[in-house]
Amino acid sequence: MAPDAPPPSKEERALPSAEEFSEVQQSAEFAELRRSFRSFAFPLTIAFVVWYLLYVLLSNYAGGFMGTKLFGNINVAFVFGIAQFVTTFLIAWWYSRHAAAQLDPKAEAIKSRMEGGA
Amino acid sequence: MSPAQTVLAAELAANEASEHRPLIITLFAVFVLATLGITVWAGRQTKDAADFYAGGRQFSAFQNGLAVSGDYMSAASFLGIAGAIALFGYDGFLYSIGFLVAWLVALLLVAEPLRNSGRYTMGDVLAYRMRQRPVRTAAGTSTIVVSIFYLLAQMAGAGVLVSLLLGITSDAGKILIVALVGVLMIVYVSIGGMKGTTWVQMVKAVLLIGGTILITFLVLLKFDFNISDLLGTAAEKSGHGAAFLEPGLQYGINGTTKLDFISLGIALVLGTAGLPHILIRFYTVPNAKAARKSVNWAIGIIGAFYLMTIALGFGAAALVGPKEITESNPSGNTAAPLLALHVGGVDSAWGAILLATISAVAFATILAVVAGLTLASSSSFAHDIYANVIRRGQATEKEEMRAARWATVFIGIVSIALGALARDLNVAGLVALAFAVAASANLPTILYSLFWKRFTTQGALWSIYGGLIVAVGLVLFSPVVSGDPKAMFPDVDFAWFPLKNPGLISIPFGFLMGWLGTVLSKEEPDKAKYAELEVRSLTGTGAH
């Protein structure tokens, strides 16, 4: 370590300069990370919110359909509710897989270069 | 059942409980002593501000996932949802679904960027590229308001349990218990900080999940694990027949109640990612990846729990019956403990032991959530308002932590004072108000801050204060506060806003104000600061 470097601390790490941040933000590599995050997370968010609202609206305005018995006392509403649980679990799993494969390596590369070069 | 018999059944529960009062008090004392031990131990390990606010950032993803679940599964989830399903059948189930789906907003959009770019509070992220003092004041204000709404619900739950268990119906007795809860939470938070609170949450989550699995198992055992039978019996005992299993019993009455259902649904799904006491949990893990994993753990644990609310709620309808439940508490808040009594056997010691256990678990639940809420609001007061607004960033860590401890005492006293007001409201409905306020004031500002380049200080202030004022204002003039037999002030009527949950109006309003404030502001957004925030939030560069 260079003698004039600040002492390492778990809370205070020297941040890269404002110019470095702007430069990285403009870089193609960062644009790719941003695209990879936004093009996955934003449409998926809209999709699950719409799916959830569909459930809320059907409960409100399509009582007859929701009350249709499927087997025993299990009706469409019940299955619809359980389906919301299942899709939530699946989306969480899917996003985490996407993040680990597509986002983490890109983020890690930028981070280590910026912190190493600071 | 004649009215006389019904009253008898409700009294029976209280009597059964009172016979075993020593057991209940022992179980409760064990939990309190154990958690106080943890608190003192954690207090010794708490040396600097990062320890106090963020538990030293050294918790594992699983530990934090458990603690997040502990913070989230409040009296609303346990007592409130069980009661709502037991009385209104399928409509009560909306809470379980909304409370769970909401986690995807936190997972996909908020948890990781927040962990990467913030330090101790929600205000850190909101004020990052804005003028510090006004935005931190706004963030601190909304944090404290949301937390107090949430606290109100927990205190209502505490009061309800006490009257059931100890047969205390006098106001003085209830206030005494609420005061006890308040004093305990002051001790937990001011001594143990985030470290102590996190461990208390983990213990509580294990107890709550354990208790819920036990009751669910016993309920299903009674129906030979045939869920269709359970639902059928619940429908029959409810007196509503098949309608009990269909949406609409509570909210399908007319156009207004249907709008209320949509309002509630939106508030639930958008509220979670704006709850300060949940957001600060993400600072307790080393990095964003661990924050993501803790949300995944939380989704798994919370999802499993909410699936079991089906058995709790419909089980209570089938085995306890709506009459006994409403006799005991008009909003159904005691359905879960009564169910414990009934699955064990009303006249047996086993039933009383189960009732005592589940009640102690519910009490632990309330205490832990109350501690988490108090920590969130006192952190925000000390870090956002005291250190950065009043002292303009010149306060030492010691002074900041001292301010946090004093804020804890103050918030403790406020919530004790408010606790007595909300006894007869369903606690899940009360918590839904906190969700609506969080979704109106905090979520728009968080999302705009993180993802919208042009967002300005004025936009942030308009969305926080706009969302906050409209949400709280509409609640004030809603049937929750006046003009309804179950309202806080049933004897007066100034409820001109017909919906019980303001989300349908206040959430779009919060988003609209953030946009309007931004496009109308004369200041230029700080491009360099946005570059810094964007790079940090997505990569974790320079994360604390």
B239 vs A10: CA distance, rounded Å? 62
Which residue of chain B comes nearest to A44, CA vs CA? Answer: B108
- Which residue would you say has higher pLDDT here, B162 or B446? B446
Residue B442 maps to a domain:
yes
CA distance A1 to chain B (A): 18
User: pLDDT tens across A74-100, in order?
Assistant: 999 999 999 999 999 999 999 999 999
State the pLDDT at residue B158: 78
Contacts with B55 from chain A: Cβ below 8 Å: none
> What ipTM was reported for this prediction?
0.91
**Least confident among A34-48, B344-358, B387-401:** B344-358
**Beta carbons of B252 and A63 less than 8 Å apart:** yes
What Cα–Cα distance (Å) separates residue B159 from each residue in A69, B154, B172, B268, B330?
40, 9, 11, 24, 14
Q: Provide, rounded to the nearest whole percent, the portion of chain A with pLDDT above 90.
A: 80
Residue B299 has a CB neighbour count (10 Å cut-off) of: 26
Residues forming a β-bridge with B489: B482
Instruction: Tell me what the mean pLDDT of segment B283-287 comes to.
Output: 96
Residue A69 tokens read as 């018995």
Backbone angles phi, psi at B114, to 5 degrees: -65, -45
A4 vs A19: CA distance, rounded Å? 22
Residue A87 maps to a domain:
yes
Please check whether residue B532 touches A, CB under 8 A.
yes
State the pLDDT at residue B123: 94
Average pLDDT, chain A: 88
Out of B246, B536, B539, closest to residue A66 by CB? B246
B132 vs B293: CA distance, rounded Å? 31
B69 vs B82: CA distance, rounded Å? 17
Contacts with A68 from chain B: Cβ below 8 Å: none
A67 vs B240: CA distance, rounded Å? 13
A14 vs A23: CA distance, rounded Å? 17
User: pLDDT tens across B60-96, in order?
Assistant: 999 999 999 999 998 778 888 999 999 999 999 999 9
Please report which confidence band the pLDDT of residue B518 belongs to, taking 50, 70 and 90 as the band edges. Answer: very high
Contacts with A44 from chain B: Cβ below 8 Å: 108
Residue A74 DSSP SS3: strand
Contacts with B260 from chain A: Cβ below 8 Å: none
**Least confident among A63-67, B207-211, B407-411, B487-491:** B487-491
Out of B98, B103, B535, closest to residue A30 by CB? B535
Domain count, chain A: 1
Contacts with B109 from chain A: Cβ below 8 Å: 41, 45
**Beta carbons of B527 and A22 less than 8 Å apart:** yes
- Statement: residue B36 has pLDDT above 90: yes
Residue B43 maps to a domain:
no
On whether the CB atoms of residues B148 and B415 are closer than 8 A, the answer is yes
- Which residue would you say has higher pLDDT here, B488 or B94? B94
Helix (H) or strand (E) run with residue B131 in it: none
Residue B493 maps to a domain:
yes
Q: Which of A57, A88, A106, A112 to mutate to test the interface with B (most CBs of B within 10 A)?
A: A88
CA distance B156 to chain A (A): 28
**Beta carbons of B541 and A45 less than 8 Å apart:** no
Residue B395 tokens read as 């306060």
Which residue of chain B comes nearest to A72, CA vs CA? Answer: B228
Please check whether residue B84 touches A, CB under 8 A.
no
CA distance B260 to chain A (A): 10
Instruction: Tell me what the mean pLDDT of segment A34-61 comes to.
Output: 96
User: pLDDT tens across B457-482, in order?
Assistant: 999 999 999 999 999 999 999 998 88
Contacts with A72 from chain B: Cβ below 8 Å: 226, 228-229, 231-232
Residue B265 DSSP SS3: helix
Out of B109, B246, B300, closest to residue A45 by CB? B109
Residue A41 maps to a domain:
yes
A86 vs B319: CA distance, rounded Å? 28
> Domain range for residue A54?
25-117
Residue B482 DSSP SS3: strand
Residue B46 maps to a domain:
no
Domain count, chain B: 1
**Beta carbons of B108 and A56 less than 8 Å apart:** no
Q: Which residue reads 């706009």 in tokens?
A: B466
Contacts with A73 from chain B: Cβ below 8 Å: 228-229, 231-232, 235, 242, 245
Cβ contacts from A onto B, under 8 A:
169
Q: Which of B58, B85, B104, B116 to mutate to test the interface with A (most CBs of A within 10 A)?
A: B104
Residue B430 maps to a domain:
yes
- Statement: residue B150 has pLDDT above 50: yes
- Statement: residue B110 has pLDDT above 80: yes
- Statement: residue B12 has pLDDT above 60: no
- Statement: residue B267 has pLDDT above 80: yes
State the pLDDT at residue B1: 38
Contacts with B306 from chain A: Cβ below 8 Å: 85
**Beta carbons of B108 and A41 less than 8 Å apart:** yes
Which residue of chain A comes nearest to B542, CA vs CA? Answer: A15
Please check whether residue B157 touches A, CB under 8 A.
no
Identify each DSSP E strand in B210-355 by its residue range: none
Helix (H) or strand (E) run with residue A75 in it: strand A74-75
Residue B48 maps to a domain:
no
Give residues 303 to 342 of B whose Cβ lies within 8 Å of A. 303, 306-307
State the pLDDT at residue B423: 61
Residue B169 belongs to a domain with what CATH number?
A: 1.20.1730.10
Please check whether residue B120 touches A, CB under 8 A.
no
Q: Which of B91, B97, B453 to mutate to test the interface with A (most CBs of A within 10 A)?
A: B97
User: pLDDT tens across B160-206, in order?
Assistant: 777 777 677 677 777 787 788 888 888 999 999 999 999 999 999 99
> Domain range for residue B121?
3-30+59-539
User: pLDDT tens across B225-237, in order?
Assistant: 999 999 999 999 9
Out of B90, B108, B527, closest to residue A44 by CB? B108
Which residue of chain B comes nearest to A86, CA vs CA? Answer: B303
The alpha carbon of B160 is separated from its chain's Cα centroid by a whole number of angstroms, namely 16
**Beta carbons of B97 and A84 less than 8 Å apart:** yes
What Cα–Cα distance (Å) separates residue A39 from each residue in B128, B429, B451?
25, 36, 13
**Least confident among A77-91, B26-40, B97-111, B460-474:** B26-40
**Least confident among A1-5, B296-300, B498-502:** A1-5
- Statement: residue B288 has pLDDT above 90: yes
Average pLDDT, chain B: 90
Length of chain A: 118
User: pLDDT tens across B491-508, in order?
Assistant: 899 999 999 999 999 999
Residue B51 maps to a domain:
no
**Beta carbons of A115 and B541 less than 8 Å apart:** yes
B375 vs B71: CA distance, rounded Å? 11
Please report which confidence band the pLDDT of residue B349 belongs to, taking 50, 70 and 90 as the band edges. Answer: confident
- Statement: residue B2 has pLDDT above 80: no
